[in-house]
């Protein structure tokens, strides 16, 4: 029947390489015996002294890792910042490009909205999971073998500090917002009269929807002026932006989904080979409008939250 010391030592040795076990067995038993003797001299019973000594040593698996020099974590503190930076780059830059390519291919294969959305979502989950798994596995291997670790590790310098922009709404942002509004209204009006003898967008919508969209664009311009006067990204600003975005995006998506956005008589569609050109173009525009609207709401809300916490906004592409 094994005693507590034997059980503790056996548990620790099972995680120790074979060639190290005999030395660590002697060292560990000697350490335990010294701790027990010290407690016996203090007047404790042997049973209590053994229990206290083993409890003080702690988890035998962790003790074994410290003896063998093997890390008890998947990615350690030296490799973690590099792993986090790589993961951030993959998910913010590489993953969107991959999904965009997959969606474009799907548009040519089967341009139906349900199929495209299903492909995008499933690809996002599958590709994202593979990126996370293989990247983490690679770093875990490097962490344990040390192969290539010197190439990944580098000394931090002041150049690695992120740059930040003011949390306040700036004049360039006002100008950019007003220019975009002017361009959208101009493009909507001119496509009816100047670009071609047959307008690209359905002229029947001039009875209601195009004037409504122009009015919403004007409201967007007034929003930028109001934001500049407020000077800060507040939660009220975020809420107004979200309302305007939804009010503009919803009718556009509805017109596109019901085949009332593009002019069916536009000869550009008729001259292109393939009957699904208009369909996949419509699906692409819907995706751009919806994703663009969601991104705008997200960015504005994030700025408002950071402003509320007193945090500046990091300039994209700077820092680790």
Q: Rounded to 5 degrees, what are φ and ψ at 20?
A: -105, -10
- Does residue 201 share a domain with residue 283? yes
Regions of the chain with pLDDT less than 50:
1, 270-272, 274-275
- Does residue 271 share a domain with residue 186? yes
Tokens of 263: 């002019």
pLDDT in tens, 28-45: 888 888 888 888 888 888
Look at residue 300 and tell me if it is in a domain: yes
Domain count, the chain: 3
- Does residue 186 share a domain with residue 307? yes
From 154, 183, 209, the end of a domain falls on 154
Residue 209 CA to its chain's centroid (Å): 36
Spatial CA neighbour of 80 closest among 139, 151, 157: 139
- Does residue 168 share a domain with residue 298? yes
- Does residue 258 share a domain with residue 119? no
- Does residue 282 share a domain with residue 176? yes
Interstrand relation of 313-314 and 164-165 (parallel, antiparallel or unpaired) = antiparallel
Q: Rounded to 5 degrees, what are φ and ψ at 265?
A: -90, 0
Look at residue 320 and tell me if it is in a domain: no
| Contact between residue 224 and residue 177 where contact means Cβ atoms under 8 Å apart | yes
| Contact between residue 69 and residue 60 where contact means Cβ atoms under 8 Å apart | no
pLDDT in tens, 235-267: 999 999 999 999 999 999 999 888 888 887 776
Look at residue 22 and tell me if it is in a domain: yes
From 116, 135, 154, the end of a domain falls on 154
Look at residue 159 and tell me if it is in a domain: no
User: On the CB side of 72, how many CA atoms lie within 13 Å of its CA?
Assistant: 12
How confident is the model at residue 166, as a pLDDT?
65
- Does residue 172 share a domain with residue 300? yes
Look at residue 74 and tell me if it is in a domain: no
Spatial CA neighbour of 144 closest among 63, 242, 75: 75
How confident is the model at residue 215, as a pLDDT?
95
Q: Rounded to 5 degrees, what are φ and ψ at 233?
A: -90, 90
- Does residue 300 share a domain with residue 206? yes
How confident is the model at residue 35, as a pLDDT?
86
Look at residue 319 and tell me if it is in a domain: no
Global pTM value: 0.56
Look at residue 54 and tell me if it is in a domain: yes
* Sequence-ordered list of residues with C-beta below 8 angstroms from that of 219, at least 6 positions apart, any chain: 244
How confident is the model at residue 91, as a pLDDT?
85
Collect contacts of 77-85 with beta carbons under 8 A, ≥24 apart.
78/153, 79/139, 79/142, 79/143, 79/149, 79/152, 79/153, 81/320, 82/139, 82/152, 82/153, 83/135, 83/136, 83/139, 85/320
- Does residue 85 share a domain with residue 36? no
- Does residue 299 share a domain with residue 199? yes
| Contact between residue 171 and residue 179 where contact means Cβ atoms under 8 Å apart | no
Q: Please give the residue range of the domain that contains residue 100.
A: 80-154
Angle between the N-to-C axes of helices 113-145 and 95-109, in degrees from 0 to 180, rounded to the nearest 10: 150
């Amino acid at each position: 029947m094994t005693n507590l010391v034997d059980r503790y030592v056996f548990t620790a040795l099972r995680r120790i390489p074979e060639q190290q076990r005999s030395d660590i067995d002697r060292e560990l038993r000697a350490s335990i015996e010294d701790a027990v003797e010290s407690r016996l001299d203090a007047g404790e019973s042997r049973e209590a002294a053994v229990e206290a000594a083993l409890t003080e040593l702690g988890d035998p698996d962790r003790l074994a890792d410290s003896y063998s020099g093997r890390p008890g974590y998947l990615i350690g503190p030296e490799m973690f910042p590099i792993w986090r930076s790589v993961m951030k780059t993959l998910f913010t830059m590489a993953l969107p490009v991959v999904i965009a390519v997959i969606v474009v291919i799907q548009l040519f294969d089967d341009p139906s909205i349900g199929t495209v959305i299903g492909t995008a979502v499933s690809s996002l989950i599958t590709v994202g999971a593979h990126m996370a798994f293989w990247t983490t596995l690679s770093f875990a291997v490097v962490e344990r073998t040390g192969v290539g670790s010197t190439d990944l590790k580098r000394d931090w310098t002041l150049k690695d500090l992120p740059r930040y922009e003011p949390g306040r709404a700036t004049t360039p942002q006002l100008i950019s917002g007003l220019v975009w509004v002017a361009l959208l209204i101009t493009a909507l009006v001119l496509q009816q009269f100047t670009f071609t003898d047959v307008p690209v967008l359905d002229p029947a919508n001039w009875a209601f929807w195009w004037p409504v969209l122009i009015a919403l664009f004007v409201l967007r311009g007034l929003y930028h002026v109001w934001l500049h006067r407020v000077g800060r990204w507040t939660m009220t600003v975020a809420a107004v932006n979200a309302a305007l975005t939804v009010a503009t995006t919803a009718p556009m998506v509805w017109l596109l989904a019901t085949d009332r956005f593009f002019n069916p008589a536009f000869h550009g569609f008729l001259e292109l080979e393939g009957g699904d050109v208009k369909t996949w173009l419509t699906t692409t525009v819907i995706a751009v409008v919806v994703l663009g609207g969601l991104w705008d709401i997200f960015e504005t809300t994030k700025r408002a939250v950071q402003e509320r916490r007193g945090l500046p906004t990091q300039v994209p592409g700077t820092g680790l």
